[in-house]
A and B are shown apart, each in its own frame.
Chain A
Amino acid sequence: MAGDIRILIVDDDPSVRDSLGRWFRDEGCEVDVAGNAKEALRKLGEAAWDVFLLDIRMPGMDGLELQQHILAVQPDATIIVMTAYASVDSAVRAMRQGAHDYITKPFDPDAVERLARTAVERRRLQRQNEQLKRAVAELEPEAEIVGDSPAMRNARRWIEAAGSSDGPILIVGERGTGRETVARAIHARSVRRYMPFVTLGTALAGPELEAEMLGLEQGPGGRARRRGKLELADGGTLFVDGIAGLGPKAQEDLLRAVEDKAICRLGAERRIPVDFRPIAAAEREPAPGEPGLRPELLERLAVVTIRLPPLRERREDIEPLAEQFLRRCGRKMNRLFQGFSSAALQTLREAEWPGNVRQLQIAVERAAVLKDGGIIDEHDLRPDADLGRKESDGDPDEIARIRGALAAAEGNLAVAAGILGVDRADLFERMKRLGVERTTGK
């Protein structure tokens, strides 16, 4: 990606040359090194370089003098000088004479990361637009937004439109309708695609939630500072799931961040600029003047509302969705499925699906893991299967469920986690806590 960015590192210390060289090679750059100014000048004569990293103090010609030579030959060169803490003054002098930036040794990875960004990514950015267009074209349709029903077609139109705009969005849908998937789809289609997608859950409350949102200037016990979700989302998308569950203080914090485009970490005075696109989600449409929800915030966030219909209101989508889940599952497990029997399809179509698409997916996956392939029949299905969450500790059923999933998955942790609807780390932690051994497959 950055293979055409060429960096020359000049330092008399081989460990600096090696480590920095490796760093920028990891960034995808082409790197060469020189142990002194003379060698550097020779390399300058042989080829063009985009970025120079120069040690200020070198025996013979020092970095400041070398910088003058480079700028004489290549006035547009990006030069970064490297210096020990003691000689920051000379770095400042180098900057005055045309250096782009300086870093002090030993380098903080943050500082080098910043350098890599400014010196290298500036060039990448020019190509980003093109990459972006390609990346958007490559996106697979997400499972939850599959379907040909009028309600779903309408929702998809909104998602496409939201992707090409940059305004706030409110997503309204029951649990399991894919609110987060839709938010991610919008993010992936937006100009913010390469920047972070940050989810703010509402499991926390009070001061903990506030710290989660705004960050802490100084962590507990004087430990490292911590950046909050609003700051982390800078440049990207902040997804707030369950907007109505946010307390009044959190709503105010969020509103202020959206309006001011800045936040203050807890315990800090300094304002940090943040620019994120808010996408909020709610289980049902908030009424104007709804108690517990600040009207200004709702006004800010609900500029465009995307409504995700419950599965029972678009039953015509059940069959294509189920087929898709089965195909995907078969691919994952290396099994060949021919589809569903007509009785099975009827069961699927008639079920209520209070957990919506997510519940349908789990029902199909559970049926599939217990079959070696062929046709999924009515008795293979348990459409009333729960969503596999909210299992309480020490529930004897839980151990059996985990064992069953592991057996069906032939010991494959990722597949078993998929069946149970939890993530791998979650499943593994439960196995350890409950003393469930993984039985290896064939």
Chain B
Amino acid sequence: MELKRGTRVADEIIILPIGAADPALIEFLSLTVGQAFGRDVRAGWAAMAPDFAYDPVRRQVHSTMLIDRIEAMPHAGDPKVLGVTEADLFIPIFTFVFGEARLGGRAAVMSVARLRESHYGRDDDPRVLYRRAEKEALHELGHTFGLVHCLDYGCVMHFANTVEDVDIKGDGFCAKCERRLATRLNPRRSPG
């Protein structure tokens, strides 16, 4: 699907690596996640190190702090920004999170640490990682577009907190979420 001409720069989606990131994965996400939202995607290489949000006791990175930092960054127009990190993420009350997003806001972050097969003692397979990461990216970005969790296992907005659940859930939005997404996307689009 061709991206609609006239998509304003302001409406783009930025994939922002946080800390060292696998460039192939960033490229893959840049190529795939825009379609569902009808927006241009680009990889933002403005460096952002996760150190300031690192908790030495938990040895994890506080995802809400990353989100706050991203929201505070100056951006042209009104993009959505998805931070992607290799670091394991947490929010204080949880042992870990795959990702976090500001509902209806600008920023989301996701961790690939627990999406890799090697985290579970198996051999890494880039294809498996790409598929999982694409679902998680769509999911977190879906939140930034105001979508909430969906009951339907076939839908990418279904909540998953184990890789097995990520693997069996669908990689697109169900009809209901699609409709909801359309109503959020369209009022913002200027005609022509």
- Which residues of A are interface residues toward B (Cβ below 8 A)? 1-2, 15-16, 18-20, 22, 25-28, 105-110, 112-113, 116, 121, 124, 128, 135, 138, 188, 193-198, 219-224, 226-227, 232, 236, 332-334, 410, 412-415, 423-426, 428-429, 432, 438
Chain B hits for A413, CB < 8 A = 31-32
Q: A19-B93, A197-B168, A414-B32 are in contact. List 13 more A-B contacts (CB 8 A).
A: A20-B93, A25-B103, A26-B148, A27-B159, A226-B164, A227-B164, A332-B1, A334-B2, A414-B35, A425-B28, A425-B134, A428-B31, A429-B130
Query: Considering the complex of A and B, which 9 residue pairs feature the smallest CB-CB distances, nearest first?
Result: A223-B121, A28-B148, A425-B130, A220-B121, A196-B153, A109-B161, A221-B121, A425-B127, A413-B31
B141-192 contacts to A (CB < 8 Å): 143, 148-154, 159, 161-162, 164-165, 168-169, 175-176
Scoring B residues 92 to 113 as 1 if CB is less than 8 Å from chain A, else 0, what string do you get? 1111110011010000000000
Q: Is the beta-carbon distance between B120 and A232 smaller than 8 angstroms?
A: no
Q: Is the beta-carbon distance between B93 and A106 smaller than 8 angstroms?
A: yes
B24 contacts A by Cβ under 8 Å: yes
Q: Is the beta-carbon distance between A106 and B92 smaller than 8 angstroms?
A: yes
Chain A hits for B24, CB < 8 A = 428, 432
Q: How far is the CB of A402 from chain B (nearest CB, A)?
A: 14
- Chief secondary structure at chain A's binding surface: helix
Q: How far is the CB of B8 from chain A (nearest CB, A)?
A: 19
Task: Out of B28, B94, B120, B168, name the residue touching A428 (CB < 8 Å).
Answer: B28
Query: Given that A194-B152, A424-B130 are contacting pairs, would A219 and B121 also be in contact in the complex, using a CB cutoff of 8 Å?
Result: yes
Once the chains are docked, how many angstroms separate the CA of A232 from the CA of B164? 8
B85 contacts A by Cβ under 8 Å: no
Q: How far is the CB of B84 from chain A (nearest CB, A)?
A: 16
Chain A hits for B64, CB < 8 A = 18-19
Q: Is the beta-carbon distance between B94 and A1 smaller than 8 angstroms?
A: no
Chain A hits for B42, CB < 8 A = none
Chain B hits for A112, CB < 8 A = 94
Task: Out of A105, A121, A428, name the residue touching B130 (CB < 8 Å).
Answer: A428
Once the chains are docked, how many angstroms separate the CA of A226 from the CA of B162? 9
Once the chains are docked, how many angstroms separate the CA of A262 from the CA of B101? 37
Once the chains are docked, how many angstroms separate the CA of A416 from the CA of B134? 17
Chain A hits for B101, CB < 8 A = 26
Task: Out of A108, A135, A193, A222, name the residue touching B94 (CB < 8 Å).
Answer: A108
Once the chains are docked, how many angstroms separate the CA of A142 from the CA of B21? 39
Scoring B residues 1 to 43 as 1 if CB is less than 8 Å from chain A, else 0, what string do you get? 1100000000000000000000010001001100100000000
Q: How far is the CB of B93 from chain A (nearest CB, A)?
A: 5
Query: Given that A106-B92, A223-B120 are contacting pairs, would A333 and B2 also be in contact in the complex, using a CB cutoff of 8 Å?
Result: yes
Chain B hits for A188, CB < 8 A = 154
Please list 27 pairs of residues, one from A and one from B, whose beta carbons are closer than 8 Å in the complex, sorted by A's number: A15-B93, A16-B92, A27-B149, A27-B159, A107-B94, A108-B94, A109-B95, A124-B151, A194-B151, A219-B122, A221-B121, A223-B120, A226-B164, A232-B165, A232-B168, A236-B153, A333-B2, A334-B1, A412-B2, A413-B31, A413-B32, A424-B32, A425-B28, A425-B127, A425-B128, A428-B31, A429-B127
Q: How far is the CB of A324 from chain B (nearest CB, A)?
A: 18
| Most A-side CB within 10 Å, residue of B28, B122, B128 | B28
Chain B hits for A412, CB < 8 A = 1-2
Chain B hits for A109, CB < 8 A = 94-97, 161
Q: Is the beta-carbon distance between A226 and B168 smaller than 8 angstroms?
A: no
- Write the chain A residue with the least CB distance to B24: A432
Chain B hits for A333, CB < 8 A = 1-2
Query: Given that A219-B120, A223-B120, A424-B134 are contacting pairs, would A27 and B93 also be in contact in the complex, using a CB cutoff of 8 Å?
Result: no
B91 contacts A by Cβ under 8 Å: yes
Once the chains are docked, how many angstroms separate the CA of A28 from the CA of B103? 10
Task: Out of A2, A25, A196, name the residue touching B168 (CB < 8 Å).
Answer: A196
Once the chains are docked, how many angstroms separate the CA of A152 from the CA of B75? 55
Chain A hits for B100, CB < 8 A = 22
Q: Is the beta-carbon distance between A226 and B93 smaller than 8 angstroms?
A: no
Chain A hits for B165, CB < 8 A = 232
Once the chains are docked, how many angstroms separate the CA of A328 from the CA of B128? 28
Q: How far is the CB of A241 from chain B (nearest CB, A)?
A: 15
Chain B hits for A194, CB < 8 A = 151-153
Q: How far is the CB of A332 from chain B (nearest CB, A)?
A: 6
Chain B hits for A15, CB < 8 A = 91-93
Q: Is the beta-carbon distance between A26 and B103 smaller than 8 angstroms?
A: yes
- Write the chain B residue with the least CB distance to A441: B2
Once the chains are docked, how many angstroms separate the CA of A188 from the CA of B91? 36
Chain A hits for B143, CB < 8 A = 26
Query: Given that A19-B92, A108-B95, A412-B2 are contacting pairs, would A426 and B127 also be in contact in the complex, using a CB cutoff of 8 Å?
Result: yes
Once the chains are docked, how many angstroms separate the CA of A105 from the CA of B119? 24
Q: Is the beta-carbon distance between A121 and B95 smaller than 8 angstroms?
A: no
Chain B hits for A227, CB < 8 A = 162, 164
Task: Out of A22, A26, A332, A428, name the residue touching B149 (CB < 8 Å).
Answer: A26
- Write the chain B residue with the least CB distance to A416: B31
Q: How far is the CB of B184 from chain A (nearest CB, A)?
A: 14
Once the chains are docked, how many angstroms separate the CA of A89 from the CA of B182? 49
Chain B hits for A423, CB < 8 A = 131
Q: Is the beta-carbon distance between A28 and B149 smaller than 8 angstroms?
A: yes
Once the chains are docked, how many angstroms separate the CA of A16 from the CA of B128? 34
Chain A hits for B153, CB < 8 A = 194-197, 236
